[in-house]
Amino acid sequence: MTAVAEQTGAWLAEFTAQKPAEPWLQELRNAAFQRFAELGFPTTKNEEWRFTNVAPIARTTFRVSAAGFAARFRGAEKIEAGGKCFDAARLAAEPNAFVALNAAFTDRPCVLRVPRGAVVEEPIEITYEIAAAGDRPAAVHPRILIVVEANAQCAIVERYSGEGRYLTNAVTEIVAGEGAVVDHYRVQQESREAYHISTLRATLGRSANFSSHSIALGGALVRNDANATLSEGSDATLNGLYIVNGKQHIDNHTEIDHAKPHGTSHEVYKGILDGQATAVFNGRIIVRKDAQKTDSKQTNKNLVLSDEAVIDTKPELQILADDVRCTHGATIGQLDEEALFYLQSRGIGKGEARSLLTYAFAQDILDRIKVPALKDQLEKALTEKLHEHGK
Amino acid sequence: MALLEINDLHASVGEREILRGIDLTVNAGEVHAIMGPNGSGKSTLAGVLAGRELYHVTSGSVLYDGKDLLAMAPEDRAREGIFLAFQYPVEIPGVSNMYFLKAALNTIRKNKNLPELDAMDFLNLVREKMKLMEMEQALLNRPVNTGFSGGEKKRNEIFQMAVLEPKLAILDETDSGLDIDALRTVAGGVNALRSPERSMIVVTHYQRLLNYIVPDFVHVLSEGRIVKSGGKELALQLEESGYAGLGIVDEEEAVGKR
């Protein structure tokens, strides 16, 4: 057997054991599995995965389990399971093995449509909670497709949590129509033994406004891909906060594709690293030949609290147009000793002063969250997580 | 018993000795001015008393309220009533002035076995103190010192002092960078805080500040030692004759004359 076949063999057994789906879905599943088998799991020789070794996932025999989720939404009309959530042509050329794997096991996709002009006041909440597994670790492959039609407006909150060792391999696609306004939040609080792979792909129509907020606190091995493709005059914001300690590894790959003129994009990813944690930030910005008057800004800031934590950060700008403005910057720093002393000189203990400054570093990402209940919840989660760091 | 007793204090930064045997006694309610040219060790003395890690005490002792001050962490010194008004107040983006000051005040109150103040009581207290310093309340909601003008930063220091009510306040060149109006406001705030229970050490290069904050004692520092001590008239004498009148080389003045 080839190495690839070895890795995919266990998945084949799971795949053939799957209950057959409706013909259209089964056909796509078959195509997807074939694509996955062709690709195999990425290795660190693959530039896209250079700093993230998924061998622990490839070596594990998982039990595929239906992606159980709780969804809460008002005002968005839910499309029945017959709603297509795959683009067959794209699937055949899918570059990401995990996305293909997800499609091969898609069981109950969450497909939602926000009708033209509708303003959904309450956020659409989709929550995945993975229970502790039995003999073999569970693998879940959540798939979400949200179509926000022209001039409609909504906020989507995805949450991930669970117990024990398992794999979450989630794919979320968002199609924002002309003039649509979509705010996407993903709150990742997986167990400390979990593998979490996520792919977010947003396609923006003319003058659409999209924001993505990725808050990553959990998981042992985490890879997030967040991609946005812009049209004329659309605006994309990609924000992220990752807080890792112990031996956690997180890899954030983002791609903003300015395909048409007059697009604007803003990206701020911030990381707090402690212990022996490792993190990767790779921010690709593509400005196509036609995409004149693009305005793009990317920032990645990292606060490294220990001597052993490692961050690899890389901006990747591919600019083919000549009348554009693109800026990028990355920083890696420690807590400011002067600020620590200032706080201590006012009676605030050293541990608390460190937490306060660390929290302050993350504050502006939380400040950009527009769902008040979520912001409150995350402020509490962050305080707890930082308390864990202080120990 | 004296509030502060400094005996033969020596301190270094790296290999360089900056304080070379300081002796100073401060009793409750007294205001001591420490004057001296640049590089004489004024700010080092202030930093050592507040517990700045940069400075290493190589010998000597400091008793504060009968306790070994040098053995205490900076936060414990603050909780026991020491306050340093920074020469360069630090900007801390992301931490609101209000949150910071409330946390500081409640830690200090806890140490005094006083109940923590709730948001309402705290707000009433700070409003009153802000009036004293002619500060706008909007500054409370801004991050600590971030985007403040030089004058606002210095006023914020004295405002914090007014809220935290220390037993020993150390003002490190609080007059530097202030125009005369701001200087009057800051000095007015400091004077309002003078009391028989509060001692102050006012570190300054210039005599100007001492027209507004009149000290009980003036000490002249040169090359890490106190070379002359006297009453407030010593400051006036310095104003007339300069540090050179005492046979001290002031680097800044020397440069100016060249």
Query: What's the pLDDT score for residue B257?
Result: 39
> Which of B78, B101, B144 is nearest residue A345 as measured by Cβ atoms?
B78
Indicate the domain borders of chain A: 3-334, 336-391
Are A346 and B51 inside 8 Å of each other by CB? no
Residue B255: which pLDDT band, with cuts at 50, 70 and 90?
very low
> Which of A338, A360, A364 is nearest residue B90 as measured by Cβ atoms?
A338
CB count within 10 Å of CB B208 equals 15
Residues of A in contact with B172 (CB under 8 A): none
Cα–Cα distance for residue pair B228/B219, rounded to 1 Å: 6
Residues of B in contact with A341 (CB under 8 A): 51-53, 74, 90
Cα–Cα distance for residue pair A204/A232, rounded to 1 Å: 9
Query: What's the pLDDT score for residue B122?
Result: 95
Catalogue the E-assigned strands of A178-248: 181-189, 195-204, 209-216, 221-230, 235-244
DSSP designation for A306 = S
Residue A4: which pLDDT band, with cuts at 50, 70 and 90?
low
> Which of A336, A345, A363 is nearest residue B74 as measured by Cβ atoms?
A345
Q: Which of B201, B193, B246 is nearest to B223 (CA)?
A: B246
Cα–Cα distance for residue pair B127/B138, rounded to 1 Å: 11
Cα–Cα distance for residue pair B128/B121, rounded to 1 Å: 11
Q: What's the CATH fold of domain B4-89+167-257?
A: Rossmann fold (3.40.50)
Q: How far is A192 from chain B (nearest CA, A)?
A: 28
- pLDDT digits 0-9 by tens, B36-80: 988 899 999 999 999 999 999 999 999 999 999 999 999 999 999
Query: What's the pLDDT score for residue A206?
Result: 98
DSSP states along A317-368: EEE--SS-EEEEEEEEE---HHHHHHHHTTT--HHHHHHHHHHHHHHHHHHT
Query: What's the pLDDT score for residue A343?
Result: 98
Does A134 score more than 70 pLDDT? yes
Residue A74: which pLDDT band, with cuts at 50, 70 and 90?
low
Query: What's the pLDDT score for residue B136?
Result: 87
Residue A22: which pLDDT band, with cuts at 50, 70 and 90?
confident
Residue A1: which pLDDT band, with cuts at 50, 70 and 90?
very low
- pLDDT digits 0-9 by tens, B6-33: 999 999 999 999 999 999 999 999 999 9
Cα–Cα distance for residue pair A285/A40, rounded to 1 Å: 27
Average pLDDT over residues B151-168: 95
One-letter amino acid identity for B252?
E
Q: What tokens were used for A31?
A: 């195509």
- pLDDT digits 0-9 by tens, A95-132: 999 999 999 998 878 888 899 999 998 899 999 988 87
CB count within 10 Å of CB A143 equals 23
* Angle at CA of residue A90, ends A51 and A17, nearest 5°: 80
Does A75 score more than 80 pLDDT? no
Does A390 score more than 70 pLDDT? no
Indicate the domain borders of chain B: 4-89+167-257
* More confidently predicted of B119 and A132: B119
In this structure, are residues A129 and A102 in contact, taking their beta carbons and an 8 Å threshold? Answer: no
Query: What's the pLDDT score for residue A121?
Result: 87
| Mean of per-residue pLDDT scores for chain A | 92
Q: Which of A7, A1, A62 is nearest to A37 (CA)?
A: A7
Residue B253: which pLDDT band, with cuts at 50, 70 and 90?
very low
* More confidently predicted of B185 and A385: B185
- In sequence order, the β-bridge partners of residue A197 are A169, A223
3-state secondary structure chain B: CCCEEEEEEEEEECCEEEEEEEEEEECCCCEEEEECCCCCCHHHHHHHHHCCCCCEEEEEEEEECCEEHHHCCHHHHHHCCEEEECCCCCCEEEEEHHHHHHHHHHHHHHHCCCCCCCHHHHHHHHHHHHHHCCCCCHHHHCEECCCCCHHHHHHHHHHHHHHHCCCEEEEECCCCCCCHHHHHHHHHHHHHCCECCEEEEEEECCCHHHHHCCCCEEEEEECCEEEEEECCHHHHHHHHHCHHHHCCCCHHHHHHHC
Query: How large a percentage of chain B has pLDDT more than 90?
Result: 81
Query: What's the pLDDT score for residue B258?
Result: 34
Cα–Cα distance for residue pair A305/A354, rounded to 1 Å: 9
Does B254 score more than 50 pLDDT? no
Query: What's the pLDDT score for residue A2?
Result: 55
- pLDDT digits 0-9 by tens, B188-241: 999 999 999 999 999 998 889 999 999 999 999 999 999 999 999 998 888 888
- pLDDT digits 0-9 by tens, A224-240: 999 999 999 999 999 99
Does A309 score more than 70 pLDDT? yes
> Which of A347, A350, A360 is nearest residue B95 as measured by Cβ atoms?
A360
Residue A307: which pLDDT band, with cuts at 50, 70 and 90?
very high
Q: Where are the alpha helices (DSSP H) in chain A?
A: 3-17, 23-39, 55-58, 88-92, 97-104, 337-344, 350-367, 372-390
- pLDDT digits 0-9 by tens, A156-191: 999 999 999 999 999 999 999 999 999 999 999 999
Residues of A with CB under 8 A from a CB of B: 336-339, 341-350, 352-353, 356-357, 359-361, 363-364
